[in-house]
A and B are shown apart, each in its own frame.
Chain A
Amino acid sequence: MKRAFPILAILTALLLSYGLYGALIVAPTERTMGEVQRIFYYHVPSAWTAFTLFFLNLAASVVYLIRRNPRADAIAFAAAEVGVVFCTVVLVTGPIWARPVWGIWWTWDLRLTLTLVLWLIYVSYLVLRRFSSSGQTPVMAAVLAVFGALDVPLVYFSIWFFRTQHPQPVVGGGGSIDPRMLHVLLINWAAFSCFAALVCWSRYRLEVLRREVEETQALESLLEAGNQR
């Protein structure tokens, strides 16, 4: 991974730059919404990336529950934290897009409400990990992650099966999209996915290092106490 990291970093920088250029210049202007529709190229890939990270959190949590592998727990933690960051982007860019298009910042529509609930579930997951000092915290967090992940398909499919204020899906679900728009959307999704992989890896490394330091400190304190006796 040491060699792959700088290569992925360069690829991410290139994809993000090209994605931004595509979103602002290459993609055609949408007929009804105009320029503000270009928020789509950041809003939708951020949502897809958040979903991917929450599924990674679920997979790592299940592995942890089965094998009690601390590295799986660290991966779950990193994925949840980075997922919350991407979900925050979705919840911030959504209302900024909604204001000029719908005339309101927020509505208690099913898709929006479920996304907010999803964000709250993973924030509570992070709060649990941050403030609980119990030795069972990773197990409780993993169980919460399994239940929390149930909200991801609900968020995704809410616009397929229910009539909502949120637009219907343009990719899959019978929607249609200009090929140039789809190209820019997919480039931005690839860019944000690479960026998420980099950040997630860095967060995972930090978590592993932090745990090693804490364990060493605890061991040295014990040895010190033993020597004083």
Chain B
Amino acid sequence: MSYLYAAYIATWVIHIAYLGYLVRGYTRVRDDIEEMNRKRRD
């Protein structure tokens, strides 16, 4: 039974880690856009 739970948990750990990577990517792009807008205003 522990192998079953280990497999299901591992699956979701991998997917959630990748979703975290995507969120970090969006945050970086948003920061870059804000930086560009700030430069334009200055």
Contacts and interface: CB of A to CB of B under 8 A. Distances in A.
B1 to A, nearest CB: 5
Contacts of B26: 206, 209
Nearest to A196: B15
Interface string B1-25: 1011011101100110011001001
Contacts of A210: 25, 29
B4 A39 contact: yes
Contact of A209 (B4, B15, B29): B29
Contacts of B4: 35-36, 38-39
A220 B22 contact: no
Interface residues of B, number: 20
A17 interface: no
B7 A213 contact: no
A112 B1 CA distance: 23
Measured as residues with beta carbon below 8 angstroms from the partner, the interface class of chain A is 20 to 34
B32 A213 contact: yes
Given A42-B8, A93-B11, A206 B22 contact: yes
B16 to A, nearest CB: 11
Contacts of B39: 220
A93 B36 contact: no
A216 interface: yes
A85 B18 contact: yes
Nearest to B40: A220
A92 B16 CA distance: 15
Contacts of B6: 96
A203 B22 contact: yes
Contacts of B7: 39, 42-43, 92-93, 96-97
A89 interface: yes
Contacts of A92: 7, 10-11, 14
A217 interface: yes
A46 B7 CA distance: 12
Interface in A194-212: 195, 199, 202-203, 206, 209-210
Interface of B: 1, 3-4, 6-8, 10-11, 14-15, 18-19, 22, 25-26, 29, 32-33, 36, 39
9 contacts: A36-B4, A85-B14, A85-B15, A89-B10, A199-B15, A213-B29, A213-B32, A216-B36, A217-B36
